[in-house]
A and B are shown apart, each in its own frame.
Chain A
Amino acid sequence: QKEVEQNSGPLSVPEGAIASLNCTYSDRGSQSFFWYRQYSGKSPELIMFIYSNGDKEDGRFTAQLNKASQYVSLLIRDSQPSDSATYLCAVNLGTDSWGKLQFGAGTQVVVTP
């Protein structure tokens, strides 16, 4: 069973601080990596995707990918109360299973004023 692992949290972050979320995956053939944000009772919404080793920045969010170590992380800078949500890491398992994403259980982030 191909697995995607995340710390469940909750991760408590003071407002204005950096939230750091980590995700590890078991399948070395994984091609693309996604971070989705999910508010309680709502559907997931895409925050970022990354497919090359290194960093990718988009506004206050930075995704980091290290395929050799099989981990992907998400940094949220200047955390805001609106960032309080569950963050799901998802992995595309490769070209022979395109579009199928394997999800982690999610990390709950709580930003405290």
Chain B
Amino acid sequence: DGGITQSPKYLFRKEGQNVTLSCEQNLNHDAMYWYRQDPGQGLRLIYYSQIVNDFQKGDIAEGYSVSREKKESFPLTVTSAQKNPTAFYLCASNNRDYTGELFFGEGSRLTVL
């Protein structure tokens, strides 16, 4: 079955540590996205990539970094510069079509201890 796989599902981090969240898709989609969701809030765009080896900052990119070396993979690193990293992180993908529908992974919940 095609889909988006995120790992780990739950992650605990000590302050000052960098952590990397994995996102892999086998939908052959061109574009991939990282969103952050805080309790009671909508999704906010962190980074997105529309093509391999290229990515763009979203609305809240500070303290995060990404890479897009393969079409299938778009890992997100939460760096120690991110002051409030505890959140639910969602990876998504889509293709350039008239709808722009996003397909989501199951999410990764990061907690800073």
Contact = CB atoms under 8 A, between A and B. Distances in A.
Interface string A25-60: 000000110100000011111100101000000000
Interface residues of A, number: 24
Interface centre among A88, A103, A106 (most CB of B within 10 A): A103
Interface string B69-109: 00000000000000000001010001110111110111101
A81 B31 CA distance: 35
A105 B105 contact: no
B64 interface: no
B43 A32 contact: no
Interface of B: 31, 33, 35, 40-45, 48, 50, 58, 88, 90, 94-96, 98-102, 104-107, 109
A99 B48 CA distance: 10
Interface of A: 4, 8, 31-32, 34, 41-46, 49, 51, 88, 90, 92, 98-101, 103-106
B42 A103 contact: yes
A41 B42 CA distance: 13
A42 B42 contact: no
A105 B100 contact: no
B42 A32 contact: no
Given A51-B99, A99-B50, A100-B48, A43 B104 contact: yes
B31 A51 contact: no
A100 B35 CA distance: 11
